[in-house]
């Protein structure tokens, strides 16, 4: 089986949410799920609100990320978490 590169967009509850803390907790959840966290980008949305884009690698055998998304959605300060990109890793 191949490995896939998945990108999550995590929306914070407000502009006051600590994105660094959110990133650390999300990366812990990804690691516990069996993923390998990669880079993180901060994406400006509007009116000072910024989203986290977290890229990570996951074995394709793992299947759906639905359980991981639920875990991240339950983190204090997270408004929503969604998959915005999935790509197969080559090599």
Range of the domain at 58: 3-88
Burial 10-21 (b: 16+ CB within 10 A, else e): bbbeeeebeeee
What band does 63 get if pLDDT is binned at 50, 70 and 90?
Answer: confident
Question: How many domains, the chain?
Answer: 1
Torsion angles phi and psi, residue 52, rounded to 5: -95, 130
Query: What is the CATH number for 61?
Result: 3.30.70.60
pLDDT of 72 strictly over 90: yes
pTM of the prediction?
0.93
Nearby residues of 6 by Cβ (< 8 Å), 6 or more positions away: 35, 55, 56, 57, 58, 65, 83, 85, 86
> Dihedral sign, CA of 10, 13, 16, 22?
negative
Model pLDDT for residues 50-62, shown as the tens digit of each residue = 999 999 999 999 9
């Amino acid at each position: 089986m191949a490995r896939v590169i998945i990108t999550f967009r995590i929306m914070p509850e407000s502009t006051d949410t600590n994105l660094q803390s959110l990133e650390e907790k999300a990366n812990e959840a990804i690691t516990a799920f069996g993923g390998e966290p990669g880079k993180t980008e901060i994406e400006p949305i509007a009116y000072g609100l910024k989203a986290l884009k977290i890229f990570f690698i996951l074995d394709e055998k793992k299947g759906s990320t639905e359980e991981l998304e639920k875990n991240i959605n339950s983190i204090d300060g997270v408004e929503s978490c969604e998959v915005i990109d999935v790509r197969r890793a080559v090599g």
